[in-house]
Copies of this chain bind each other. A is one copy, B any other.
């Protein structure tokens, strides 16, 4: 219920390129070169963002020979969705709560 939203996770997803990556990975599991091709970003840049996403627990890696596949972790996104849903419901219920002017 009173699960406050994870600030760090939102901050991580707040970057346009990272959100782009997450959106792409929501459709299929890809490796870095695919992401380079899809986004047009440099490999170094993507590697940095993927590291951030990995450390935030948003994606997980699966080595495949020389390649590294990145897979999105749906539970993390789903949990975030639930947290926002809770927040929205809380806001709806408290619509008429108004603290008196001091």
Q: Footprint of B on A, CB under 8 Å? A: 4-5, 7, 10-16, 19, 22-23, 25-31, 33-34, 37, 64-65, 67, 69, 71-75, 77-78, 80-85, 87-92, 94-95, 97-99, 101-102
Contacts and interface: CB of A to CB of B under 8 A. Distances in A.
Given A28-B97, A94-B28, A23 B10 contact: no
Task: Count identical subunits in the complex.
Answer: 2
Given A34-B102, A77-B84, A101-B64, A94 B26 contact: yes
Nearest to A85: B81
A22 B87 contact: yes
Contacts of A5: 13, 19, 23
Contacts of A37: 102
